[in-house]
């Protein structure tokens, strides 16, 4: 199971992971178009700031995901093959139970659509966009546990 891990010791709090996360989930997937001509979606990664420490915080794709257990509409599910915790927006009723249930605060409210969004590990790309674009390699992608 793949997941993104953060390295707070080299995170400089630049928030580029958030910019690129928004781009990756925008219509055009182009940074200029997304920010100038579209309403970019909210980033699905959060940057914690406890200065001087900062670090980016994505979904952990937990083995026993509290968000999935809390979901009342069947929108959140754990893919049995990949182990990824995925969100089907068409089923989301915006109750925000998962937002409260996640111990890491990794589920983000999309106030525009009154639903939630979460990290999908950029399925279809070689690397999650936040990892690929982090200028300081403060985010890494582990393809398998412990790899």
Q: Which stretch binds other proteins (CB under 8 A): 1-9, 13-21, 29-37, 127-135?
A: 13-21
Could you tell me how many residues of this chain bind other proteins (CB under 8 A)? 29
| Residue in this structure with the two tokens 């707070």, named with its chain if needed | 8
Give me the 70-109 binding string for other proteins, x by CB under 8 A, dash otherwise: x-xxx----------------x-xxxxx-xxxx--x--xx
Task: Give residues 21-80 in contact with other proteins (rule: CB under 8 A).
Answer: 46-50, 54, 69-70, 72-74
C-alpha pair distances (Å), 134 with each of 17, 68, 79, 138, 143: 6, 29, 27, 6, 17
The sign of the torsion formed by the CA atoms of 47, 122, 129, 34 equals negative
Structure tokens at 5: 């891990």
Strand-strand pairing, 53-57 and 46-50: antiparallel
Asked whether position 111 contacts other proteins by CB under 8 A, the answer is yes
Residues lying near other proteins in the complex (CB under 8 A) are found at 13, 15, 18, 46-50, 54, 69-70, 72-74, 91, 93-97, 99-102, 105, 108-109, 111, 114
């Amino acid at each position: 199971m793949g997941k993104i891990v953060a390295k707070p010791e080299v995170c400089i709090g630049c928030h580029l992971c958030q910019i690129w996360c928004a781009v990756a989930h925008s219509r055009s997937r182009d940074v200029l178009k997304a920010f100038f001509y579209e309403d970019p979606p909210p980033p699905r990664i959060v940057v914690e700031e406890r200065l001087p420490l900062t670090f980016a915080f994505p979904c952990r794709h937990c083995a026993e995901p509290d968000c999935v257990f809390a979901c009342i509409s069947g929108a959140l599910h754990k893919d049995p093959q990949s182990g990824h915790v995925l969100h089907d927006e068409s089923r989301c009723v915006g109750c925000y139970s998962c937002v409260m249930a996640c111990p890491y605060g990794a589920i983000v409210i999309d106030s525009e659509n009154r639903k939630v969004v979460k990290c999908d590990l950029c399925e279809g790309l070689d690397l999650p966009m936040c990892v690929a674009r982090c200028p300081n390699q403060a985010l890494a992608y582990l393809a398998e546990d412990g790899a």
